[in-house]
Structure 1
């Protein structure tokens, strides 16, 4: 409310700024007071003259009634009416003359101006006091504002520091917890892997029906690779032998005999290696050969895994052994590739648990089993010679891939 009142008073001061500048000593300017303008024109002069003449005529008739014949002839009431008319006219003219003259009006005007100026001065002093009070209040509030601002700034800095410290602490705790969780998860995965490996080994041990799908050399895959050996390396080796001038039957029988010798050698070497490893691990001081069954299931499983991991080295040693016994296998490049691939696959079949079996077929003139073998180039009921052995998952197990034989022509 004080502010609104201040604004209103400021408006009053502005509306009267001209008079304050002329008369107020606080403004710093001094001017002579404004004079009331002289309003004297012909009408004023005529009215004044008429009033004076009327006044003179009345005075004259009062003091010299004999000279006024017309008045003397009139009644008393007529004389009174004439006198009143002249008297009223004279009074009005005098008042009008006084009001239109400079002196009395100027006095009244100046008196009014002084009253108004005094009122403005009082309002001005009051506004100055109110302004000073407001300035003091503003200063006090500004001081309170600055103190409050400093306090809030200090509190804000304190809270920010606490927030950063708490954030860093939580981040460190979170990092430590994540690290611990990852370590425990890793340990759990390792334990599960070990448990799964042990369980898988126990399940797969002497159980060919359960295969490790991550193993590229599991029995089913080996059967497929063995079929590819017949389609590729065997065919090339047969063609190379045929170019030497020998008959196709002789070439087929030579390749078949070579494969049978390789399979027999690999089966014996793999069995001897397994028994030797089990003996060295379980009874290193015993020199008498032990059977495979004498080792524990865990030891046997570890030995079989070791054989699979070292298959490449064993394959090279077995290849050298077979080629040294039959150097003719290395004379022909196609025949050498066939021999090497046959050794590799037969060794991998021999170290399976249990080992895979190759059925080299019935003897000549026996009945042909179409469930196990398929015909080579002609049809018939009796066996002439075997071209390629049938593959079984293990001895006495299911057939994995049919063999090939040549029946006697009908």
Structure 2
């Protein structure tokens, strides 16, 4: 926990270690592990991070506390050593040496006090904490301005056995008396909602855009989908997952969140297979979404997931390149807008497909914008394009 937090201080405000150790070791704590290189060993060793913590704690105010049993033969010496290092470096922290060894009795006896310390140093509850309509949802991420990501289950009548959690982003100063635009974010396969709030740091980016007035306050809904067993890479937002989104997720959001009724305030976006789903669903359900965004997607269906055994007519019914021509008059009339972003070729998805679909939109006189990475960056472009994608939807 300590090693992870020290490398991601923008994600944690409180870091505690209860009878822990601070370097790579086997489960006994007695044998040092070699991670394969000097760089990896140093990165995983908390002691080597102390020199940079003084400035890091100023940039990201952090409460750090740890304790160990006085009779803990395995970890007492290392805890004392870290305590002395932090004192010498002038880094604020809390350290306690308790009677007892490395045993449950010590942890049970002091758990309440240390949980209390953690809670005392967390930010106070705000209007962005779960409102009454979202009972059962728990906070999993927070933005720097007070936005919050909540995780909980959106009931799935299409697949009732699916108990996995979806996620919701609520903006800073969220109020049930307001009406917010919304974006539905569809993950790829394999994938989950955490790809948005963890990997892409949605709360941090969204809070920044809203605070700087580059985007209006908005809500994001991140449903979970896809098979739970088998080859999870082979799935699509079609079949039961299309039914779930259209007939469960969207109505649930309308009932439980204070959303704007304006068609232009309803956006949908996705990553990879989710990008295909976002565009496909927009074209298959006219009048549901006023903005459709494809982030590194494709525009003709793959034969996988619910479409693995589809016939030609069924594939055509899920082909955005064909559907956009059929729906072009309605799209122009309703002022539906598209945002298309792309990096470089990955996993059988080609960059040129995005430009080809953009050319199709241009020929049909449908409003759109293209964001393209200028050089290969191992997927980093997905974070880089996120502010532009959200601005396009909510500026």
**TM-score, scaled to structure 2:** 0.18
Larger radius of gyration: 1
Structure ranking higher in strand proportion: 2
Using structure 1 for the length normalisation, give the TM-score.
0.17
More helix by share: 1
